[in-house]
């Protein structure tokens, strides 16, 4: 009877271990879905790829969206980069929609390798020239109505914490960049300006654009309450950037 008792005990231990492993795997899977890279292959937008003709690329649009029709809260994608590292970001530009406001005349502003986005410090309202910098612009796809550029995004070791992205010829709020050692250290009170839903003045030339892929950036979706009042100088810069 002893040997049979030992076998039963071992079987119970093995069964418990299997249950624990399955549970742990489920928890870790949930964590990495939340903290994962923003361009996971499972999230590719096939309709956008077909519409643009960029069928060889995994396009995963990241935009600020209102959570529901009866809500004033916004879902804000926050792209977390570690200090002293380099990441990559791809932006898709829709050339067919640009032109002089209120006119059917379409004049395309020139998008080249020297036309790069800027990072605007949420703390100071000033453009960052060194702390967070976009460079090495590479055009990876183009047709008559769409162009896709890839950029390196460098965060210096002494970067401050939160930045707004200012793409070329775009007026409005893009997803936020947070320079943090870990995506678990976010200060949500610093993200209030991304809930601004008041009037934004557009410029003479406007090119709609969207982040569609990233690398070496962790994505955290943050709920931010809507507000009609700009909470800081950086917000004021964005809504008056067109003039």
Residues 8 and 116 in one domain: no
State the average pLDDT over residues 71-94: 96
State the average pLDDT over residues 21-39: 36
Paired tokens of 126: 């000033």
Q: With 0-12 CB in 10 A as exposed, 13-18 as middle and 19+ as buried, what is 19?
A: exposed
Q: What is the CA radius of gyration of the chain?
A: 22
Whole-number pLDDT of residue 160 = 76
Paired tokens of 186: 């976010």
Hey, how many other C-beta atoms are within 10 angstroms of the C-beta on 6?
10
For residue 12, pLDDT beyond 80:
no
Residues 132 and 166 in one domain: yes
Number of structural domains in the chain: 2
Whole-number pLDDT of residue 60 = 95
Residues 52 and 105 in one domain: yes
Residues 73 and 16 in one domain: no
100-155 confidence digits (pLDDT tens) = 444 444 566 788 889 999 999 998 999 998 999 999 999 999 998 999 999 999 99
Residues 29 and 51 in one domain: no
Q: Quote the CA–CA distance of 198 and 5 in Å, as a whole number.
A: 72
Instruction: Name the 3-class secondary structure at 195.
Output: helix
Whole-number pLDDT of residue 193 = 96
Residues 165 and 82 in one domain: yes
Whole-number pLDDT of residue 78 = 97
Whole-number pLDDT of residue 120 = 96
- Full-model pTM: 0.79
For residue 242, pLDDT beyond 60:
yes
Q: What b/e readout covers 191-226, taking b as 16+ CB neighbours within 10 angstroms?
A: bbbbbbeeeeeeeebbbbbbbbbbeebbbbebebee
Q: Are the beta carbons of 3 and 23 closer than 8 angstroms? A: no
For residue 76, pLDDT beyond 50:
yes
Which residue range forms the structural domain that includes residue 137?
Answer: 38-239
Residues 177 and 207 in one domain: yes
Residues 206 and 191 in one domain: yes
Using 50, 70 and 90 to split pLDDT, how confident is the model at 38?
low
Return the ∠ at Cα 107 (arms to 150 and 147), rounded to 5°: 20
From 221, 219, 232, select the one nearest 192 (Cα to Cα). 232
Residues 215 and 138 in one domain: yes
Whole-number pLDDT of residue 129 = 86
Residues 114 and 188 in one domain: yes
Instruction: Name the 3-class secondary structure at 163.
Output: strand
Whole-number pLDDT of residue 110 = 81
Residues 26 and 55 in one domain: no
DSSP code of residue 233: H
State the average pLDDT over residues 42-69: 91
Which range among 16-30, 95-109, 127-141, 205-219 shows the weakest confidence by mean pLDDT?
Answer: 16-30
For residue 97, pLDDT beyond 70:
no
Residues 119 and 230 in one domain: yes
């Amino acid at each position: 009877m002893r040997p049979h008792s030992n076998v039963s005990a071992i079987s119970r231990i093995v069964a418990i271990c299997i249950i624990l492993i399955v549970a742990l795997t489920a928890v870790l899977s949930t964590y990495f879905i939340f903290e994962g890279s923003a361009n996971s292959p499972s999230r590719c937008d096939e309709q956008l790829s077909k519409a643009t003709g960029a069928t060889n690329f995994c396009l995963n649009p990241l935009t600020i969206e209102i959570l529901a029709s009866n809500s004033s809260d916004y879902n804000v994608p926050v792209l977390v980069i570690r200090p002293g590292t380099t990441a990559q970001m791809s932006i898709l530009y829709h050339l067919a929609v640009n032109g002089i406001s209120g006119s059917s005349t379409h004049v395309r502003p020139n998008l080249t390798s020297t036309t790069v986005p800027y990072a605007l410090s949420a703390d100071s309202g000033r453009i960052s020239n060194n702390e967070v910098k976009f460079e090495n612009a590479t055009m990876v796809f183009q047709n008559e109505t769409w162009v896709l550029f890839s950029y390196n995004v460098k965060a210096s070791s002494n970067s401050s914490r939160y930045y707004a992205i200012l793409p070329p010829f775009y007026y409005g709020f893009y997803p936020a960049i947070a320079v943090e050692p870990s995506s678990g250290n976010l200060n949500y009170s610093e993200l209030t300006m991304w809930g601004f839903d008041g009037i934004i003045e557009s410029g003479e030339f406007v090119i709609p654009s969207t982040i569609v892929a990233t690398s070496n950036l962790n994505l955290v979706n943050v709920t931010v309450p809507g507000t009609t009042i700009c909470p800081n100088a950086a917000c004021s810069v964005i809504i008056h950037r067109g003039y």
